[in-house]
Amino acid sequence: MVMTYLMGRGDTYRSHHYASIYWSSFVSALLAKFPHITVDASELCIATGQQQDAQGDHGVDRDTGETAGGTDTVTLDADATGRLIAKCQVTDYVLRGEALSHLNVIEFFTNTYEVNKVTRHNGEATTGAMHTRPSTEQRMALSTARQRGRPRHERVDYDQTHPRFKEKHRIVRREGHHTLPNFIGRYFPARDHPNPSSFYCTSMLMLLKPWRSLATDLKESSDTWQSAFN
């Protein structure tokens, strides 16, 4: 434990890693699409104590820059041309690649993660920085090293309409990974009533059912939220 701390690996050991899911962003998108859904004040409680050590001193996640508070926070990013883009997990999920279309919200953020795309030129990898062309011997050694290592993780591009399609893509984690979801924001509504509320049913459908359009994919137009959930 002492050596681990001195080497900068922290003073705690965890058997799992955690993927942050900013549930408030999804709830806001849901209520914007279905403003007629009645929401009890108790169903909008804020979960601020979940995995606080994954955040900075002001409740800002170190990886995504989003907050765990009740207000919606817009995180700005810049593309390769310097154009500012609003970063949003709802957009990432809706515009996921076709190979990931079968994943629900939990599966998408726990089974995959976002990285920068790597451009390869004749066996050379670069992310846009200055680079030097490798020699033939270096390319052969690199090819041999790849054959010796573990199989490469599957890469899946976002949909071409995604604002970061050219710069980002998702890597699929291998089966048996130790990543769990860490929900930040509002608590899930409790199912402690014989007749679950519409907000509870829509929240669970949005969480557990794969979708791309909230307006059409969660239920048939002739169904109620309760019947669609049951």
Measure the CA–CA gap between 157 and 169, rounded to whole angstroms.
5
Using the predicted structure, report yes or no on whether residue 163 has a pLDDT greater than 50.
yes
Instruction: Give the C-alpha distances (Å, rounded to integers) separating 3 from 11, 12, 15, 54, 133.
Output: 9, 12, 18, 22, 40
Q: Quick: pLDDT tens for 86-112.
A: 789 999 999 999 999 999 999 999 999
* Residue 109: alpha-carbon gap to chain centroid: 4
Q: Quick: pLDDT tens for 112-131.
A: 999 999 765 554 454 543 44
Q: Find, among 85, 5, 37, 32, the residue nearest to 199 by Cα.
A: 37
Using the predicted structure, report yes or no on whether residue 20 has a pLDDT greater than 70.
yes
3-class state of residue 19 by DSSP: strand
- Mean pLDDT across 135-153: 63
Q: Is residue 220 within 8 Å of 205, Cβ to Cβ?
A: no
% residues pLDDT > 70 (the chain): 65
Q: Is residue 26 within 8 Å of 188, Cβ to Cβ?
A: no
Q: Which residues contact 175 (CB under 8 A, 6 or more apart)?
A: none
- Mean pLDDT across 59-74: 46
Residue 149 tokens read as: 């290592």
Q: Quick: pLDDT tens for 22-34.
A: 999 999 999 999 9
Measure the CA–CA gap between 46 and 187, rounded to whole angstroms.
6
- Mean pLDDT across 6-12: 68
Measure the CA–CA gap between 23 and 207, rounded to whole angstroms.
9
3-class state of residue 130 by DSSP: coil
